[in-house]
Amino acid sequence: MTLNPVVASVTERIILRSRPYRSAYLTRLELARRQGVQRGALGCTNLAHGFAAFPANDKLVLKEQKKPSVAIVSSYNDMLSAHQPFEHFPARIKEAVRQVGGVAQFAGGTPAMCDGVTQGQPGMELSLFSRDTIAMATAVALSHNMFDAAVYLGICDKIVPGLLIGALHYSHLPAVFIPGGPMTTGMANSEKARIRQLYAQGKLSREELLEAESRSYHSAGTCTFYGTANSNQMLMEVMGLHLPGAAFITPGTPLRDALTAAAAQRAVQITDQSGEYLPVGHVVDEKAIVNAIVALLTTGGSTNHTMHLVAIARAAGIVIDWNDFSELSGVVPLLARIYPNGEADVNHFHAAGGTGFVIRELLDAGLLHEDVKTILGQGLRKHAAEPLLIDGKLTWRDAPATSGDENVVRPASAPFSADGGLRLMSGNLGRSVIKVSAVKPQYRVVKAPAIVFDSQEQFLHDFNEGKLDRDFVAVVRFQGPRANGMPELHSLTPALGVLQDAGRHVALVTDGRMSGASGKVPAAIHVSPEVLAGGPLGKVRTGDMILLDAEQGVLQALVPEDEWKARIRESTDLASNEVGHGRELFAMFRNAVTTAEEGAATFGLPPLIKQVNPEINQPGGEKESKEFSDEDTLIRSSGGDATTQKEIG
């Protein structure tokens, strides 16, 4: 199938825009690579420290310096359901690696916090920054230079993006991601949403709400709605960092255990000593990033990835922006309806065809790059498959030819909608994104007076006092990463849903964020720049008429231009967001973070260095050098404007 011309042109634009940074990144990959095992670079004292506590046989393997060593980097904790299954993975991984002649060591753990627990709490203000903290913890785990590959145990929200960012900064090491799987299906998602709205209306007690939530979140494994955690798993599959079909196999099953062991062994098989070297820096390239965006769009995935994918790409020397997401969204059909974009959960999605079905449909429709490297080697089509156990042996078969349930997943020839449902919004209020795949068409355009709030608590107070029974656009500001760490505002969704169901025309505009669980109410989120970075939301006054037009991508305060230019941005007291619950430790993140469209990251693009041609390490290769500088490096933006490295990086 011929590649879709829009996918091709966006990819080419990204390649050209990223060229100096990507070239610098790949140069560093080659410089970090060495002949033989990585630990061969260590002195005897260093090496002795590195295996002092190891079992005798494993120590002997490490001493001989011939066989590969695999790092285990895990986000295990036993409080969070998604991460609790990882408790037993290291032992399985170590044994599986021994079976193929290698050694695995638990290199380090990373934090793993749950936005479901911290929702509406002070701890949520650490959530976004935990991604970069996890990336740094991953780098620390790998810093001993003992390892020839790494396996990463993570699944939720900021954890997988953080692990991948950390892995990409060790670009020369192969990386295999091993998921834990979703919990089994509990209460129907539609019933859960109904009960939350009843509670928001004061019609149910807290005890009744807790009982319902406990039937929804009831066992080990990931939450089953299609939020950021499960979007992560979809993206790892389509980027070729999982074994095929690994994402949505429930924990504690023989198939899950077999996939874990096979993933660990695959890490050994793609080390530099194996003859099938597949470092993560080669797997995650411009085409893989475009594939990830397409997969996000076609499944109605989490809006958080309009930041996380940008940050992941930057870690690999690749520059993407919201224009890329929006342009791809125009040609990528919606093939899945998973809650909140439908009634089904990820278990239903998996049973109906799952990731392999979606990958195959997109490849056949010319919407994915097939010519990429994955942990299985060359070509993405190998991942259009599903795993199964036959007589206890792990094997794969082709993804099903037809959907098992066209209410959940459809072929590209008969999609739920012709586009991916993610839109770029722009106007005098800045740039933002909106997810409309779960918003009914009649609610996608709202023109109503603004009510300005400087916190989600102010909004909920007014809602509970009955002050919001009207048409309005809630402008919730000072919620960006510089202000308070950009907490999710998911707690506003039930209240806004109640008002919409009552016939009110309501919408949300914010420089904060919503999770993949954002749903039926139109929400222009991640407004960039945020108020503390000079963003125009600071000019909005209660009573201003706001136009949110998700069909045309317009986000506008309908205020006379002269008056708008003359207005002063309002300020607010953020002292209470700066201390307590560890927030004071993250002041450096708030001070250094980039805009949402730049990934809300605390790290930059790879610094430009003297570039060399791809034959750098090949015998007889001619080495041509060129020095890039801020002044002579132009990045062609999606909109056609030329900006310097200083402006983007």
Strand order in the sheet with 103-109: 103-109, 69-74, 149-153, 175-178
So what's the pLDDT on residue 570?
Answer: 93
Pairwise CA distance, residues 513 & 305, whole Å:
11
* Token couple for 360: 């195959």
| Residue listed under structure tokens 């980039």 | 594
CA distances from 195 to 117, 433, 575 (A): 18, 28, 35
So what's the pLDDT on residue 634?
Answer: 35
Instruction: Count the residues in the chain.
Output: 649
Residue pair 412/361 in contact by the 8 Å Cβ criterion: yes
Angle at 100 between CA 252 and CA 153, to 5 degrees: 40
The pLDDT tens digits of the residues spanning 338-351 come to 988 888 999 999 99
Residue pair 192/209 in contact by the 8 Å Cβ criterion: no
Strand partners, 432: 425
The pLDDT tens digits of the residues spanning 105-123 come to 999 999 999 888 888 888 8
Q: Is the torsion defined by CA of 302, 306, 307, 308 positive or negative?
A: positive
Smallest Cα–Cα separation from 311: which of 334, 282, 331, 284?
Answer: 284
**Is residue 251 packed enough to be buried (19+ CB in 10 Å), middle (13-18) or exposed (0-12)?**
buried
Strands 634-636 and 422-427: unpaired
So what's the pLDDT on residue 515?
Answer: 66
Instruction: Return phi, psi of residue 595, to 5°.
Output: -70, 165
Smallest Cα–Cα separation from 179: which of 158, 140, 151?
Answer: 151
* Token couple for 458: 């102010």
So what's the pLDDT on residue 48?
Answer: 85
Residue pair 170/139 in contact by the 8 Å Cβ criterion: yes
So what's the pLDDT on residue 120?
Answer: 81
Pairwise CA distance, residues 172 & 608, whole Å:
18
Helix (H, G, I), strand (E, B) or coil at 141: helix
In the predicted model, residues of the chain with pLDDT beneath 70 are: 515-518, 609-649
Using CA atoms of 408, 409, 413, 419 in order, give the dihedral in degrees to the nearest 10.
80
Strands 149-153 and 69-74: parallel
Pairwise CA distance, residues 227 & 569, whole Å:
34
